[in-house]
Amino acid sequence: MKNDIAARIRRMPIPSPEGEFTAYYSARGLCGLEFPSGTKQRESKTGAALPAAQIRRWHAAAGKALRLALAGRPPKGLPPLDLSGGTEFQRRVWQTLRKIARGRTWSYAQVAQAIGNPKAVRAVGGACGANPIPVFVPCHRVLAANSGLGGFSGGLNWKRALLKREGISLPD
DNA sequence: TAAGTGCGTCGTT
DNA sequence: AACGACGCACTTA
């Protein structure tokens, strides 16, 4: 599986008014997104072998969608998202996150319930933290049940900013 | 009320 | 075996 086409990753920068994001593409689509501060960048594995024209299309679309999202508008024209990277449980969580409507928030417990694993609340938090495509897979819309913010792998300031741009008023 | 403590629970490493 | 992006029951002030 090491040299399998699906294992190849291409890394590309996305310029934005708020800094340079980093996108990662596999043959299946966008498979990763990182916030600007970026001291922690992943490797780009034999990316040259991936279909260049298609990735350029995806990249253009992702950049556009990201800038829309940052501007507080619904991102449209998203490229396919490759979420094949995680465990079964994580994929279930990530798929569920995609169902959270813009401008709405769920609790970690609600997500756990939605995947039919109501007691796996804490594990859901772990899966959110492992979300490879923040913003587009809206893990920022998951808050703690006590009206707390919860955490965010990209930094809580980003979580607050993203929520605010969706018109969500935060619990203090 | 508000703030703090303890513990159950479960997927991941 | 240990650790969390949790939630809840249960103290204290």
Using pLDDT thresholds of 50, 70 and 90, give the confidence band for residue A2: very low
Q: Give the residue from A58, A61, A56, A60 showing the smallest Cα distance to A29.
A: A58
Q: Report the distance separating Cα A170 and Cα A140, nearest Å.
A: 12
Show the CA angle centred on residue A159, arms to residues A18 and A84, nearest 5°: 95
Cβ proximity of A28 and A6 under 8 Å: yes
A128 is catalytic: no
Q: Report the distance separating Cα A38 and Cα A21, nearest Å.
A: 8
Q: Give the residue from A97, A98, A101, A99 showing the smallest Cα distance to A150.
A: A97
Q: Give the residue from A52, A20, A34, A15 showing the smallest Cα distance to A136.
A: A34
R_g over Cα of chain A: 16
Q: What is the pTM of this model?
A: 0.93
Q: Which of residues 78-137 of A touch strand B (CB under 7 A)?
A: 86-90, 117, 119-123, 126-127, 130
Name the nucleotide with the smallest C1'–CA separation from A130: C5
Percentage of chain A exceeding pLDDT 70: 89
Cβ proximity of A95 and A131 under 8 Å: no
Name the nucleotide with the smallest C1'–CA separation from A125: C5
* Mean pLDDT value across residues A16-39: 93
Per-residue pLDDT at A6 exceeds 60: no
Using pLDDT thresholds of 50, 70 and 90, give the confidence band for residue A1: very low
**3-state class (DSSP) for residue A30:** strand
Cβ proximity of A65 and A133 under 8 Å: no
A116-169 per-position pLDDT tens digit: 999 999 999 999 999 999 999 999 999 999 879 999 999 999 999 999 999 998
